[in-house]
């Protein structure tokens, strides 16, 4: 009887010790996870005050949410201008400007694609990888041209980025500006910026169709004139 009670007592004691150890290990971990998520949420709202406070409380700039986004990427996703100060604080705290989420966006790549120029400049000043590519195999310059962000294009052309990089679709930034643009003043300006920066006007798509041929087919006379003047054919 005594042996049985001793066995039961030992088992109970062991379970209690295990529970205490689990609580000890899990409690702070859960608190840290909540703080980290709160940082990501605050960054996504552009709440610089909350970001500053949470960083002071030890929230990790490397933490990720369910989509694989860091707080810096969440800040970059905020509406234009809203996440700028939060992004500044996060970068100053050591956030990785090249950390990609599950769909291969990074703070640098997303800022370039969506014309978040203030954040883009910060990423360029803090180690943006100009050779990194998005899920379509495009550098930051290609979606910037496609989405119609002339100032973004100018910023990127001022770096060592490959002006003639070809993405998974077989398109360069120049081809995307023509093919996916609307032929209006904004995309025409971008074509001009690319040409003046030395982008090749002769690189064709996978079907052998050049930027000039695409512009002519679409009736984009202003684009065609720029391309012709640069030796397009």
- 145-172 pLDDT, tens per residue? 999 999 999 999 999 999 999 999 999 9
Residue 2 lies in a domain: no
**pLDDT confidence of residue 13:** 44
Residue 42 lies in a domain: yes
- Domain match, 125 and 29 both: yes
Q: How many CB atoms lie within 10 A of CB 125?
A: 10
Q: How many CB atoms lie within 10 A of CB 40?
A: 26
Question: How far apart, in whole angstroms, are the C-alpha atoms of residue 169 and residue 193?
Answer: 22
Domain count, the chain: 2
| pLDDT band, very low/low/confident/very high, at 30 (cuts 50, 70, 90) | low
More confident residue, 4 or 77: 77
Structure tokens at 170: 């077989």
Only one residue has tokens 């100060």, namely 85
Asked if 39 and 52 count as a contact pair (C-beta separation under 8 A), the reply is no
- Boundary (domain end) residue, out of 97, 129, 161: 129
- Domain match, 94 and 145 both: no
Structure tokens at 195: 């040409």
Q: Is pLDDT at 90 greater than 50 in this prediction?
A: yes
Sign of CA dihedral 20, 23, 24, 26: positive
Residue 14 lies in a domain: no
Question: How far apart, in whole angstroms, are the C-alpha atoms of residue 214 and residue 61?
Answer: 44
| pLDDT band, very low/low/confident/very high, at 189 (cuts 50, 70, 90) | very high
Structure tokens at 19: 């529970």
**b/e string for 160-193 if b means 16 or more Cβ within 10 A?**
ebebebbbebebbbbbbbbbbbebeeebbbbbbb
Comparing CA positions, the residue from 144, 131, 64 lying closest to residue 101 is 64
- Domain match, 116 and 29 both: yes
| pLDDT band, very low/low/confident/very high, at 212 (cuts 50, 70, 90) | very high
The kind and range of the H/E element at 108 are: helix 107-114
- Domain match, 28 and 125 both: yes
More confident residue, 95 or 30: 95
- Domain match, 146 and 122 both: no
Q: Is pLDDT at 5 greater than 70 in this prediction?
A: no
| pLDDT band, very low/low/confident/very high, at 26 (cuts 50, 70, 90) | very low
Question: Ramachandran region of residue 129, left (φ > 0), alpha (ψ -120 to 50) or beta?
Answer: beta
- Domain match, 43 and 110 both: yes
Mean pLDDT of the chain: 91
Structure tokens at 156: 């990127």
Q: Is pLDDT at 8 greater than 90 in this prediction?
A: no
Comparing CA positions, the residue from 112, 42, 31, 30 lying closest to residue 70 is 42
Q: Is pLDDT at 22 greater than 60 in this prediction?
A: no
Which CATH number characterizes residue 160's domain?
A: 1.25.40.20
- Domain match, 183 and 231 both: yes
| pLDDT band, very low/low/confident/very high, at 9 (cuts 50, 70, 90) | very low
- Domain match, 152 and 120 both: no
**pLDDT confidence of residue 31:** 57
**pLDDT confidence of residue 23:** 40
Asked if 164 and 172 count as a contact pair (C-beta separation under 8 A), the reply is yes
Question: How far apart, in whole angstroms, are the C-alpha atoms of residue 3 and residue 11?
Answer: 12
Asked if 199 and 173 count as a contact pair (C-beta separation under 8 A), the reply is yes
**pLDDT confidence of residue 14:** 47
Asked if 174 and 148 count as a contact pair (C-beta separation under 8 A), the reply is no
More confident residue, 2 or 135: 135
Question: Averaged over 197-214, what is the pLDDT?
Answer: 98
- Domain match, 112 and 197 both: no
Q: Domain range for residue 169?
A: 138-233
- Domain match, 142 and 233 both: yes
């Amino acid at each position: 009887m005594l042996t049985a009670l001793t066995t039961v007592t030992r088992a109970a004691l062991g379970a209690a010790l295990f529970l205490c150890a689990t609580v000890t290990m899990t409690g702070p971990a859960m608190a840290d996870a909540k703080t980290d998520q709160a940082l990501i949420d605050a960054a996504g709202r552009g709440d610089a005050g909350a970001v500053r406070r949470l960083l002071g409380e030890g929230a990790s700039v490397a933490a990720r949410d369910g989509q694989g986004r860091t707080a810096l990427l969440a800040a970059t996703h905020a509406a234009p201008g809203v996440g700028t100060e939060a992004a500044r604080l996060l970068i100053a705290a050591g956030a990785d400007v090249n950390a990609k989420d599950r769909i291969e966006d990074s703070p640098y790549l997303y800022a370039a694609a969506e014309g978040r120029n203030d954040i883009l400049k910060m990423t360029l000043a803090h180690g943006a990888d100009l050779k990194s590519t998005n899920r379509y195999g495009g550098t930051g310059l290609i979606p910037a041209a496609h989405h119609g962000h002339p100032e973004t294009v100018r910023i990127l052309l001022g770096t060592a980025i490959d002006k003639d990089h070809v993405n998974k679709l077989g398109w360069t930034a120049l081809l995307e500006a023509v093919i996916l643009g609307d032929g209006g003043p904004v995309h025409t300006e971008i074509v001009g910026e690319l040409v003046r920066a030395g982008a090749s006007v002769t690189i064709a798509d996978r079907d052998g169709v050049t930027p000039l041929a695409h512009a002519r087919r679409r009736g984009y006379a202003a684009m065609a004139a720029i391309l012709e003047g640069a030796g397009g054919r």
